[in-house]
Each structure stands twice: as C-alpha cells, then as structure tokens.
Amino acid sequence: MKVKTFPRGIHPPELKEWTAEKAIESLPPPEKVMIPLLQHFGSTAEPLVKKGDEVALGQKIGEDKALFSASVHSSVSGKVLSVDDYNHPGGNPVPAVTIANDGEDRLSPEIKGSKDSFSLSPDEIRHKVRDAGVVGLGGAAFPTAVKLSPPKDKPIDTIIINGCECEPMLTADYRLMLEAPEDILNGAELVRIATGAEKIIVGIEDNKKKVVKLVQERILRFQGAVSLLKTKYPQGAEKNLIYALLRREVPRGGLPFDVGIVVQNVGTAKAIWEAVSEGKPLYERAITVSGDGIGEPKNILVRIGTPFQNIIEFCGGLNEQADILVMGGPMMGISQWSLDTPLIKGTSGILAWTSPSPGIEYPCIRCSRCVDHCPMGLVPTRLAKYIRFDNLTEAEKWGILDCVECGCCQYICPSNISLVHWMRLGKNKIASLKRKKSA
C-alpha cells in the first residue's frame, strides 16, 4: 500500500511502546465527580440541575442552548452537591456540577437505543448525536452535531476517519481501533449517512500496522478503504490529513466542508455509534496515562468529571521527580497546575514526566528550520518577531491566523525560542482588536 503524507512536519520520539500493548481497563467511578458545563468549543451549557437533586447515570445535566455548544450528562448516579465554578484543565475556572456518587450506576430512563441505526434519516442521526453531547474526542472538542450538518451549498463526498494519533505517547485511539474496530466503522457509516457522503477513508499511520488489516477486513461492508500514512507529526492535523489523503487544500480560514470532507477521530466515531445505537450519552472516554512520571502507564476508560488525582492513583501514582503534568499530548497538550482538576470530554491523555532543565534562549540565527518544518507553510521566526514588536498588521499579512499551534517550529528551534507562545499572544491580540472594532 502506498504510504501517503504531507510536506514538512517533524518526527519527535514516539514513546508509544509504554502503553501500546496495554488493553483499555475501566477505572472504577470515583466517589465524587465534577462535571464542567463547558467541555467543548462553543458556549457553556445551561445547568438543568441544582444542589440536592438526585441524578441518574447518563441524565442530561447541562443543555446546549446555542448552536455551537454541547449537552453535558451525569457520569454517575447520585446527588448533586453543588453547581459552582471549579478547576478546569483549560486553566480558568468554569461552572461545574459536582455529584456525589451513590455507587449504584442507575441508568437514566431517558436513554433509548435504536434497533436499526443505519435506516435512520440524517436528521434523526444528528438529533441523537446532539442529544448525547458528542464532541470531537481528538482534543479540540468541536460539537459533532455541527460537523454532521454541512451547509446545503457544500456537498460532502468523503468521510475521513482520523486514526493517526500522531501525538507522542498517546495510544488510546490505537487501542480503540484494535479492540472495537466494528464500532468505529459503524460510527463512520452513520457519519456518511448523515452527511450524504459517498465513501469513507480511514487514515492510519504506518507505525500501527497491526490495526490496518483488522480495519481493512471490516471496512469491506461499507463504501470505504484504509489509507496508510507516514508516521510523522502532525499527520492527524485536519488540514494536513486532508491534503495527505486527497491532495485537497482546505482554504485559508475555511473548514473541511469547503472541500467536501468531514473528518472524525476514531474515538468520536465510536461515540457516535454508541450515541445512536444505544442512546448512550458521552459520559466516559478512553485515555492514555503515560510518561516516566507515572508509576504504571495504562490505557483506561474514565468517567467524565473524574479528578486527575484518582486517575493517577489508579495508574501507580506519581513519581517523586515528576514535575510536569500535561492534559493531551506532549506537543499540543495543556500543562496542569493541580491534581484536583476533572477530566473533560476533550482529554486524550494525562501525562507526567520530569522536565529537562529549560535551555538558554539564544537569538534567532535564521537557520530556517521553523520554515522547513511548518506544516502550514508559514515563517514562524518572522511572525514571532512581528508580535514581539507589536506589528499585528504584518503578522496577519504573513498568515499568523493560519497557525494551528502544532508546535513543530518550537520543537525544532535550536535557539529555544517560545515561538508557539508568540503565535498565541499574536492571535489573541488580533482577536481582541477585532472584537473592539466590531463593538
């Protein structure tokens, strides 16, 4: 099979061997869960419960009032202790529903499956996905129902199922493909029906050969194929993945819709299938817990709202020397300050390790490595300089808004310049300037 790829990018150490052979274990639900009402791209869900209410497993506790939002469900059965601001992995406190687990896992009567999922109409599929609060599980947590609703003037022809998992250390998606390929493909077929697409492509990096055959055998039932991709970072970044597989370029500032494509991560595809066939809301997800700071790295199935503390204790605890805790992957993950922070839908991994001493920052020597490795074709060093001197107009002209913050430039920079940090600062400054102008 021809191995496809995109230009530039990097190849960081994979470090997947620590957990790749570890089957997904279930973490026992904790005594208390803190479920943030904002776990997705968009606006905060409106709380449906108050202190003292009894809730069941899978019961809707936060409602998506806006289009760009997602419902939130209880991940245990028990009593609501409070609805108040709580730690959030994103950094700022967010309203969250704290529930004391009664340990009974009483399932909500709202949950209803459907017998013949494939004969449902696109609207019915979208409705069920929306009702189950499904969001993209790759990390960005974009509301999935929105992704399943392409505008009328943008016909979709291809569904891409993203099985790249190009971030180092993470293996939960790999385990899902190995352990539940059927569910993933069924979910992909639902996406295809909902969007009216013709075919499905499952993109898998060539360091996961073991799952390729498994998926290939099962995809024959559908209009689909598996495509092998080079192991390279960020192969799983949406725009690069689309380019690698189909040589189509999502226009600057545009969406995959614009080139007739919908991309779903493998975990999301599985969640879509469960939401439609079982009516199961997204109240748990598979994650990788890894890094040399973790006693026993594992892949686990965790209830949303479980504090990091419980997750790490289940995985052999934290080493003395571990001094950095990251939610997500090593390249794009968010570093955490507290173990008393709950897991959210977008958490793909919890990683801990001993960070090497920060290197000295040298002046830029214009080595051009950031240019040679930027998957978007930007000139990071120039952009960083524009931001440093507050020249937002030039930064925008040179494409700072196209930056996806993948981190390739900073990874490769021999001068140790915090390029991604400058990009974020610049993008924030431009966004706030635009808000001011429109206000």
Partner 1 sequence: MTDKTFILKSSPHFKDKDSVPKIMYAVVLALIPAIFASVYFFRFRALVLVFSCIATCLATEALFLWLRKKTLSSLWDGSAIITGLLLAMTLPPSISLELVIIGAVVAIAIGKQVFGGLGQNIFNPALVGRAFLQTAFPVVMTTWVPPATIKINTATFATPLGNLKFENAIAQGTLTPLGDLFWGNIGGCLGETSAIALILGGLYLLFRRVIDWRIPLGILLSLAAFTGVFWLANPGKYASPHFHILAGGLLIGAFFMATDMVTSPISPLGSWIYALGIGIVVGLIRLFGGFPEGVMYSILFMNAFVPLLNRYTRPRILGERSKG
Which residues between 153 and 192 bind partner 1 (CB under 8 A)? 168
β-pairing, 284-290 with 349-353? parallel
User: Within 13 Å of residue 346, how many CA atoms lie on the same side as its CB?
Assistant: 25
Among 45, 219, 250, 383, binds partner 1 (CB under 8 A): 250
Cα 188–209–118 angle (5° rounding)?
A: 15
Q: Which of 93, 98, 148, 146 is nearest to 122 (CA)?
A: 148
Quick one: 113 or 377, whose CB is closer to partner 1?
A: 377
**Total residues binding partner 1 (CB under 8 A):** 75
Task: Determine, following the binding rule CB under 8 A, whether residue 346 of this chain makes contact with partner 1.
Answer: no
Quick one: 28 or 251, whose CB is closer to partner 1?
A: 251
Going across the sheet that includes 54-55, the strands are 32-36, 94-101, 78-86, 54-55
Task: Determine, following the binding rule CB under 8 A, whether residue 411 of this chain makes contact with partner 1.
Answer: yes
Token pair of 320 as six digits: 């003395």
Task: Determine, following the binding rule CB under 8 A, whether residue 381 of this chain makes contact with partner 1.
Answer: yes
Task: Determine, following the binding rule CB under 8 A, whether residue 393 of this chain makes contact with partner 1.
Answer: no
Torsion of CA 188, 16, 423, 404, to 10 degrees: -20
Among 121, 368, 393, 428, binds partner 1 (CB under 8 A): 368
Q: How does DSSP assign 298-367, residue by residue?
A: EEEEEETT-BHHHHHHHTT-B-TT--EEEES-TTTPEEES-SS-B--TT--EEEEEPPPPPPPPPPP---
Helix (H, G, I), strand (E, B) or coil at 117: helix
Task: Determine, following the binding rule CB under 8 A, whether residue 249 of this chain makes contact with partner 1.
Answer: yes
Quick one: 111 or 339, whose CB is closer to partner 1?
A: 339
Quick one: 281 or 307, whose CB is closer to partner 1?
A: 307
Determine the Cα–Cα distance for residues 174 and 179; give it in Å rounded to an integer.
9
Quick one: 123 or 362, whose CB is closer to partner 1?
A: 362
Among 414, 428, 431, 432, binds partner 1 (CB under 8 A): 414
> What residues numbered 206-245 form the site for partner 1, per CB under 8 A?
239-240, 243
Quick one: 109 or 363, whose CB is closer to partner 1?
A: 363
Among 28, 113, 251, 316, binds partner 1 (CB under 8 A): 251
Quick one: 121 or 354, whose CB is closer to partner 1?
A: 354
Determine the Cα–Cα distance for residues 101 and 96; give it in Å rounded to an integer.
15
> What residues numbered 253-272 form the site for partner 1, per CB under 8 A?
253-254, 258-259
Is it true that the peptide bond before 363 is cis, omega within 30 degrees of 0? no
Task: Determine, following the binding rule CB under 8 A, whether residue 21 of this chain makes contact with partner 1.
Answer: no
Among 36, 78, 133, 375, binds partner 1 (CB under 8 A): 375
Quick one: 281 or 293, whose CB is closer to partner 1?
A: 293
Interacting span for partner 1 (CB under 8 A) from 45-53, 60-68, 157-165, 359-367: 359-367
Interacting span for partner 1 (CB under 8 A) from 143-151, 211-219, 296-304, 367-375: 367-375
User: Within 13 Å of residue 285, how many CA atoms lie on the same side as its CB?
Assistant: 34
Q: Which of 414, 310, 285, 290 is nearest to 359 (CA)?
A: 414
Determine the Cα–Cα distance for residues 134 and 147; give it in Å rounded to an integer.
11
Residue 218, Cβ neighbours under 10 Å: how many?
Answer: 17
Interacting span for partner 1 (CB under 8 A) from 24-32, 81-89, 132-140, 331-339: 331-339
Quick one: 110 or 323, whose CB is closer to partner 1?
A: 323
Task: Determine, following the binding rule CB under 8 A, whether residue 317 of this chain makes contact with partner 1.
Answer: yes
Quick one: 37 or 325, whose CB is closer to partner 1?
A: 325
Q: What is the nearest approach in angstroms of partner 1 to the Cβ of residue 399?
A: 5
Q: From the DSSP assignment, how many helices (H) and strands (E) are in the chain?
A: 13, 17
Interacting span for partner 1 (CB under 8 A) from 56-64, 108-116, 124-132, 316-324: 316-324
Task: Determine, following the binding rule CB under 8 A, whether residue 311 of this chain makes contact with partner 1.
Answer: no
Among 324, 391, 429, 430, binds partner 1 (CB under 8 A): 324
- The 3-state secondary structure of 174-204 reads HHHHHHCHHHHHHHHHHHHHHHCCCEEEEEE
Task: Determine, following the binding rule CB under 8 A, whether residue 247 of this chain makes contact with partner 1.
Answer: no
CB neighbour class for 123 (10 Å; exposed up to 12, middle 13-18, buried from 19):
exposed
